[in-house]
Amino acid sequence: QRNALNAVDFSESFGNTLPSLSRPANASQIFYSIMFDAGSTGTRIHVYTFIQKDPDGLPVLDNEMFHSMKPGLSAFADIPEIAGHTVRQLLRVAKKTVPPVEWKRTPVLFRATAGLRLLPPAKAHALLEEVQDVFDESPFYVPVDSVSIMNGTNEGILAWVTVNFLTGRLHRNPQRTVGILDLGGGSTQITFLPKSRKTVESAPADFMVRFHMFSSSYELYTHSYLGNGIKAARLSALGALGSEGLEKKVFQSSCLPKRYTGEFSFGGFSYHVSGVTDGVSGFRACSQELLKVLKGIIKQPHELKDSSTFYAFSYYFDHAVEAGLIDERRGGAVKIRDFKKRAKEVCNRPSERTQLNPFLCMDLTYIVCLLKDGFGFKESTVLQLTKKVRNVETSWALGAAIYHSQKFRIH
Ligand SMILES: O=c1ccn([C@@H]2O[C@H](COP(=O)(O)OP(=O)(O)O)[C@@H](O)[C@H]2O)c(=O)[nH]1
């Protein structure tokens, strides 16, 4: 049975009312866009400089200024003023980058992801209001619905737009586009353009979206799994999910070194954690623990068993660097088998690496289980691990700015 396709409504994310801009012809080519990414582990600002050569075509990205602050805003759920302070600090980057004469027509947007999705709605709302106040006081253009929580579908699609834009694939044959794998702290996204009819037909209805951009239409498979980001998975594995960092309780996992005791903080709570002193540890025990976390949650798209190209970033990248699989500056191609081999080494033979990061065994094993047993990739699948493409951060933020620029037309 054929799925009904969902058309993505980006007005939820970007608002509809935009000022009509009238600008002198020769000055009409450069425009700026400010995008805040409020993730569960940090808040980031991206200030993009675009050049619009062809009024109906894709803008050219000239420059990105990027800055980030930790922890994520959900850590301030009970003190929203600090969230406002964080955003105010980051806005300084925008003031330094965008020429004052452009401030009034440069849009400033804020999108929150898993961190705020996981908060009780009233607490998330209070944080958003605080950010809205800071924006309203700012000299920039604040569109309607400038501050909001983005839904997971848009998060996945916009990261796909970013990677395909940066690698020059957006204006070519859609069949040549690449898929993306994004692993955040709270959620994880998979997005790709299916090549096989079977993938489309067997996908859950809300995983298939039709999406229009720059006079092309794309039919994408996308989903964001909330609670399956790498930090949230740590909590599940430890059995600490839903608890608020109880004072005395120690949460244990066979993925941690046997004699390790320490603390783990996420989403504004701290947890006492330890290895299982008199129990089993190592890759086998750890993967069994993590498979329970994934069981029955992750859907397997039909065509992943064939070879297709996927770019993986965020925590996939960070942990591959930490594990010594890739060079931080260059990134590189890594097979899922390589992740598995290194996970086994780290888990079964504790070394200096595990002393530096006691969670490395858990994190690498989670990546292997998520990719192989979760999504159903083959061990021979090669992932392109990237942090930046052409010196620009790989994240949904650029896709969001590009999408928005379509509405923010310069006449
Ligand atoms: O422009 C960006 C945005 C995010 N990240 C990385 O993405 C991961 C963060 O995920 P986040 O906290 O946003 O997760 P979420 O809350 O969306 O699950 C971390 O590895 C960040 O370093 C990055 O490298 N550049």
pLDDT tens for 354-408 read: 778 999 999 999 999 999 999 999 999 999 999 999 999 999 999 999 998 876 5
pLDDT score of 351? 82
Q: Are residues 363 and 399 in the same domain?
A: no
The ligand 1 atom at the shortest distance from the C-alpha of residue 397 is 1
Q: Is the distance from CB of 312 to CB of 367 less than 8 angstroms?
A: no
CA of 278 to the centre of ligand 1 (A): 36
- Nearest CA, atom 6, ligand 1: 314
Q: Are residues 119 and 242 in the same domain?
A: no
Q: Are residues 248 and 130 in the same domain?
A: no
Domain assignment of residue 35, given as a range: 9-153+393-407
DSSP three-state, residue 398: helix
Angle at 12 between CA 7 and CA 15, to 5 degrees: 120
CA of 186 to the centre of ligand 1 (A): 10
**Per-residue 3-state assignment (H helix, E strand, C coil) for 13-58:** HHCCCCCCECCCHHHCCEEEEEEEEECCCCEEEEEEEEECCCCCCC
Q: Is residue 211 part of a domain?
A: no
- Nearest CA, atom 13, ligand 1: 39
Q: Is the distance from CB of 395 to CB of 313 less than 8 angstroms?
A: yes
Q: Is residue 311 part of a domain?
A: no
CA of 41 to the centre of ligand 1 (A): 7
Q: Is residue 2 part of a domain?
A: no
Is residue 186 in contact with ligand 1, taking CB distance under 6 Å? yes
Q: Are residues 118 and 252 in the same domain?
A: no
Q: Are residues 377 and 234 in the same domain?
A: yes
**Per-residue tokens: 354:** 């595990």
Is residue 314 in contact with ligand 1, taking CB distance under 6 Å? yes
Q: Are residues 265 and 362 in the same domain?
A: yes
pLDDT score of 408? 52
41, 188, 328, 394, best to mutate for ligand 1 pocket (most atoms within 8 Å of CB) = 41
364: amino acid identity, one letter? L
181, 314, 316, 391, best to mutate for ligand 1 pocket (most atoms within 8 Å of CB) = 314
Q: Is residue 190 part of a domain?
A: no
The ligand 1 atom at the shortest distance from the C-alpha of residue 182 is 7
CATH of the domain at 113: 3.30.420.40
pLDDT score of 247? 73
**Per-residue 3-state assignment (H helix, E strand, C coil) for 48-94:** EEEECCCCCCCCEEEEEEEEEECCCHHHHCCCHHHHHHHHHHHHHHH
Is residue 247 classed exposed, middle or buried when 0-12, 13-18 and 19+ CB atoms within 10 A define those classes? exposed
CA distance 286 to 345: 13
CA distance 30 to 98: 11
pLDDT score of 58? 85
The ligand 1 atom at the shortest distance from the C-alpha of residue 46 is 1
Q: Are residues 403 and 365 in the same domain?
A: no
**Per-residue tokens: 400:** 């969001």
Q: Is residue 4 part of a domain?
A: no
Q: Are residues 397 and 351 in the same domain?
A: no
pLDDT score of 368? 98
pLDDT score of 31? 95
Q: Is residue 65 part of a domain?
A: yes
pLDDT score of 22? 43
Q: Is residue 102 part of a domain?
A: yes
pLDDT score of 157? 96
The residues near 240 (Cβ < 8 Å, ≥ 6 apart) are: 251, 271, 273
User: Does the predicted TM-score (pTM) go above 0.80?
Assistant: yes
Is residue 274 in contact with ligand 1, taking CB distance under 6 Å? no
Domain count, the chain: 2
74-113: burial string, b at 16+ Cβ within 10 Å, e else? bbbbeebeebbebbeebbebbeebbeeebbebbbbbbbbb
Q: Are residues 113 and 148 in the same domain?
A: yes
Q: Is residue 189 part of a domain?
A: no
Q: Are residues 257 and 380 in the same domain?
A: yes
What confidence tens digit (pLDDT) does each residue in 177-228 have?
Answer: 999 999 999 999 999 999 999 999 999 999 999 988 877 889 999 999 999 9
For the chain, residues with pLDDT lower than 70 are: 1-28, 245, 306-307, 407-411
Q: Are residues 402 and 350 in the same domain?
A: no
- The backbone torsions φ and ψ at residue 114, rounded to the nearest 5 degrees and listed phi first, read -55, -40
The ligand 1 atom at the shortest distance from the C-alpha of residue 42 is 12
Q: Are residues 97 and 119 in the same domain?
A: yes
